A and B are shown apart, each in its own frame.
Chain A
Amino acid sequence: MTVHFSYVRPASLQDAVSQLGSDNALIHAGGTDLLGCLRDEVFPAEKLVSISGLPELRGISKTTDNGLRIGALTTIAEVAAHPLIRESYAALAQGAAAVASPQLRNQGTLGGNLCQKPRCWYYRGEFHCLRKGGNYCYAVNGENQYHCILGGKNCFIVHPSDTAPALLAFGAVLRITGPRGSRSVTLADFHVLPERDVTRETVLEAGEIVTEILLPPASAAMRSSYRKVRARQAWDFALAGVALALELEGGRVRRSRVVLSGAAPIPWRAVEVEKIITGSALESEVIHEAAVAAMTKARPLGKNGYKIPLFQGMLAEELEKMRQVS
């Protein structure tokens, strides 16, 4: 049984925003991550503001510029199954299908998937770690086999989302509503590295709600994929993952976005890979060079060095698959 909290289910977005104005008021969307955190007393909650009574936050539709609008409350299962997403944004459909388990995909939402709390077992456990206001990251000298190899300086979480890498590869933009009105934030600017602020994962301010995820139009030359490597085939987080979104023309890569999961505290753009493959044909030497370059800045901890060859091998395999379809 969790701690006591009050519960409110507003019928308008404005009411939801104002309900979030009180102390320790938290958003309940699908609730899958939130209720687990409350049960483990990772952070306090005095009030849950359920946004499930806001149907305008659900659904998938084409935008006027031929892009896609996905309401933040759309479930992961709906994202995985949607024909437009499967056809034009395959990496997102594949990423969504790889999230957790069928039950959680039926309940968890796309907005919630982007706003997940870290799965670091020190953060989730009874450790007053840096992210919880303490002064020490227990992963540094602890059990760090699932922690990050890139982008950690003071805290070594990995971002747990399988949809964020694909969305970032497609250049997604988030619409956010809060006490001071609405704003747009690119997904690239949404997640926060620990070195910038170790106590938050996103740029969301108090009272702000992610309302929709916007995808730019997908060009006909776009090929995309998401690969997730995990310790077992079902219901697990990524040890390593990669989203590829490549525009191919005449056997060459015209534009590319390569984003890693399981690598860093935020969905991690592998710009070294993008530089090498963009403008080139995906030949074996190029693929090899790109896979090696992806890990040049990696700084493994004591027990996660295996991730370096894992990422290199996985990247080489995924780029090879792209070569075959190009």
Chain B
Amino acid sequence: MNNEENGEKTGQCRCVHGFTRRGFLTSVGVGAMAALATSGRLSAAQEGAVAERAAEKAVVITLTVNDRSHRLLVEPRWSLLYVLREQLGLTGAKVGCERGECGACTVLIDDLPRYACLTLAVEAEGRRITTLEGLMAGEELGPVQQAFVEEDAMQCGYCTPGQIMSVEGLLRARPQPDQAEIRQAVSGNLCRCGAYPHIVKAGLRAAELKAKR
């Protein structure tokens, strides 16, 4: 995983301000729709009422992603997945089915695993969003990521970020799960390579690693 994907904790969004390949493509591709400003903690998202937001007009929202506030210009129809990847450059959450069936886009919202493809970005205002990048401790892998490496819990790797986020969500609610609970927790994440036995082992290992930290 490189810095561009990690979202460095500098208060800057590399996809807009940095000259990375993805950032360049993003700003060219999205043009004026790119993120407005990202630094610092801005005012909390409005609770409750919002004025009607017109269909084809982008609106400003504030999203809290991996403990940082981002002011963003979004269309009401944009999914959280689209905004995370295309505006914030956080490409850990993957585009799979885009219909809530495969789990490749799983992120945590207020610590609960959810599909970012079926969540509107405007609906995520005021919520605490955690992506795969948010599990990193600086340059170090987080315990769940480390466990997946140790247990070789992937083949092609495409579903892996989603599997990791589902296990992370489970461990935040239940730090010492049994195998059945892990299987249940990743039941909304498809792995077409069939790495499930290793994924379950990684879940058990992740609980051990997390307990040590």
A interface list, Cβ under 8 A from B: 1-12, 15, 19, 28, 31-32, 35-36, 39-40, 46-48, 50, 52-53, 77, 100-104, 106-107, 233-235
27 A–B contacts, CB within 8 A, in A order = A1-B82, A6-B54, A6-B76, A9-B122, A11-B48, A11-B49, A28-B123, A31-B118, A36-B100, A39-B99, A47-B52, A47-B55, A50-B123, A53-B48, A100-B100, A101-B100, A101-B187, A101-B188, A102-B113, A102-B188, A103-B100, A103-B114, A103-B115, A104-B115, A106-B112, A107-B114, A233-B187
Cβ contact of B119, chosen from A10, A107, A235, cutoff 8 A? A107
Asked whether A35 lies within 8 Å of B120 as measured between CB atoms, the reply is: yes
| Chain B residues with CB under 8 A of A31 | 118-120, 123
From A36, A46, A234, contact of B55 by CB (8 A): A46
> Which residues of B (42-71) have their CB < 8 Å from a CB of A?
47-56
Which residues from chain A contact B188 at a C-beta distance below 8 Å? 100-104, 234-235
Complex Cα spacing A6 to B118, Å: 17
* B154 at the A interface (CB under 8 A): no
Which listed residue (A3, A32, A53, A102) contacts B49, Cβ 8 A? A53
- Asked whether A1 lies within 8 Å of B115 as measured between CB atoms, the reply is no
Closest to B122 in A: A7
> Chain B contacts of A2 at CB under 8 A?
77
Closest chain-B Cβ to A191's Cβ sits at a distance in Å of 23
The number of chain B residues touching the other chain, given as a range, is 35 or more
Question: Which of A5, A7, A50 has the most CB atoms of chain B within a 10 A radius of its CB?
Answer: A7
Q: Judging by beta carbons under 8 Å apart, are B123 and A103 in contact?
A: no
Shortest C-beta distance, A44 to chain B (Å), equals 12
Interface contacts beyond A7-B122, A102-B169: sample of 10 additional A-B pairs, CB < 8 Å, sorted by A: A3-B77, A4-B56, A11-B49, A40-B99, A102-B113, A102-B188, A103-B100, A103-B115, A106-B109, A106-B113
For A15, the closest partner residue in chain B by CB is B49
Contacts of B82 in A (CB 8 A): 1
Closest to B113 in A: A103
Q: Does the CB pair A77–B112 fall under 8 Å? A: yes
Tell whether B89 is near chain A: CB-to-CB under 8 Å. no
Asked if residues B49 and A107 are in contact (CB atoms below 8 Å), the reply is: no
B106 within 8 A of A: yes
B20 within 8 A of A: no
B204 within 8 A of A: no
Give the Cβ gap from B202 to chain A, nearest Cβ, in Å. Answer: 17
Give the nearest-CB partner of A104 in chain B: B100
B5 at the interface (CB under 8 A from A): no
Which residues of chain A come closer than 8 Å to B7, judged between CB atoms? none
